[in-house]
Structure 1
Amino acid sequence: MAGEASMLKFLKPKSRLQPVDVQAAAFWGVAAVSGALYLIQPFDWLKKTFLEKSEEK
């Protein structure tokens, strides 16, 4: 931990990584993955996976 802090000391405080930057990056990452999964999935995947199996039981 101390090594990481000393590596960033040469940066100005405004230029350092802030917690809100990490939070925003995580949010956009989740949004991008969710959007990609929505676009990539086959259109009948939901029907085949959940609806038809419940009817068979």
Structure 2
Amino acid sequence: MAGLPARIRLQPTDVKAAALWGVTAVTGALYLVQPWGWLKKTFLEKPDPEQK
């Protein structure tokens, strides 16, 4: 990136802003979809041991 003008180079502020917008988008999507039952079943509940 040394050949790019300073105004086009990727700045740390741009990276922080993009990360913040990404987190905001994911949070908003989860709020709209609300897959709480699936998340709970998939990640928090332990499967029952199989009975023989």
| TM-score relative to the length of structure 2 | 0.64
**What code does the residue aligned with 2:11 have?**
Q
Q: Gapped runs of 5+ residues in structure 1?
A: 1-7, 50-57
Question: Counterpart of 1:36?
Answer: 29
Relative to total residues, which structure has the larger helix share, 1 or 2? Answer: 1
Cα deviations by residue, 1:27-51 (Å, 9 ceiling, x for unpaired): 0000000000000115xx47xx6xx
Over the residues paired in the alignment, what is the CA RMSD in angstroms?
1.7
Q: Gapped runs of 5+ residues in structure 2?
A: 41-52
| TM-score relative to the length of structure 1 | 0.59
